[in-house]
Amino acid sequence: MDRQEQIENLLDHYEHPRFREANEGADVIMPGGNPGCGDVITIYLSIADDEASVSEVGFEGEGCTISQAAASILMEMAHDEHWTLGEIDEIDYTTMIDILGKEAVQMRPKCATLALGTLKAAVKKYRRDKMRRDAGLDTIEEEDDESAKSLGIVTGAAALQETKE
Amino acid sequence: MADEVASKGYVNPDLLVSTEWVAQHLNDPSIRIVESDEDVLLYEIGHIPGAVKVDWHTDLQDPLVRDFIGPKEFTALMNQLGIGDDTTVVFYGDKNNWWAAYAYWFFRYMGNDNVKVMDGGRKKWEAEGRPLTREASVYPPANYTPKPMNSELRVLRDGVLAHIGYHGVKKVEDGGALVDVRSPGEYSGELLHMPDYPQEGALRGGHIPGAKNIPWARAVAEDGTFKTAAELRDLYQGAGITEDQDIVVYCRIGERSSHSWFVLHELLGYPNVRNYDGSWTEWGNVIGVPIER
Q: DSSP per residue over A118-137, as a string?
A: HHHHHHHHHHHHHHHHHTT-
**CA B219/CA B273 separation, integer angstroms:** 16
Of the pLDDT bands very low, low, confident and very high (cuts 50, 70, 90), residue A164 is very low
Please choose, from the candidates A157, A156, A159, A36, the residue with its C-alpha nearest in 3D space to the C-alpha of residue B193. A36
Cβ distance B40 to A107 less than 8 Å, yes or no, reads yes
pLDDT above 90 (res A147): no
What pTM did the predictor assign? 0.86
ipTM, two decimals, is 0.72
Give the pLDDT mean for B29-50. 95
pLDDT above 50 (res B79): yes
pLDDT at A109: 84
Cβ distance A65 to B40 less than 8 Å, yes or no, reads yes
Instruction: Determine which one of B33, B117, B155, B251 is catalytic.
Output: B251
Answer yes or no: B77 catalytic: no
Nearest chain A residue to B61 by CA distance is A107
Nearest chain A residue to B39 by CA distance is A64
Alpha-helical segments (H) within B54-120? 71-80, 98-109
Distance of CA B68 to the CA centre of its chain: 14
Of the pLDDT bands very low, low, confident and very high (cuts 50, 70, 90), residue A106 is confident
Mean pLDDT of all residues in chain B?
93
Flag whether residue A55 sits within 8 Å of chain B, measured between CB atoms: no
pLDDT above 60 (res B195): no
**CA B2/CA A165 separation, integer angstroms:** 38
pLDDT at B212: 97
Flag whether residue A107 sits within 8 Å of chain B, measured between CB atoms: yes
E strands, chain B, in order: 16-17, 31-35, 52-53, 88-92, 115-118, 166-167, 170-171, 177-180, 212-213, 247-250, 273-276
Cβ distance A34 to B195 less than 8 Å, yes or no, reads no
Cβ distance A65 to B197 less than 8 Å, yes or no, reads no
Which neighbouring-strand residues pair with A58? A44
pLDDT tens per residue, range A28-85: 999 998 644 578 999 999 999 999 999 999 999 998 999 999 999 999 999 999 999 9
pLDDT above 70 (res A152): no
**CA B237/CA B281 separation, integer angstroms:** 28
Give one DSSP letter per residue of B120-180, joined into a string. THHHHHHHTT---B-PPP------PPP----GGGB--HHHHHHHTTEETTEE-S---EEEE
Of the pLDDT bands very low, low, confident and very high (cuts 50, 70, 90), residue A3 is confident
Percent of chain B with pLDDT over 70: 96
Instruction: Kindly report the number of other CB atoms within 10 A of residue B219's CB atom.
Output: 22
pLDDT above 70 (res B113): yes
Instruction: Kindly report the number of other CB atoms within 10 A of residue B248's CB atom.
Output: 27
Using CB atoms and an 8 Å cut-off, which of residues 12-41 of chain A contact chain B?
14-15, 33-38
pLDDT tens per residue, range B266-283: 999 999 999 999 999 999
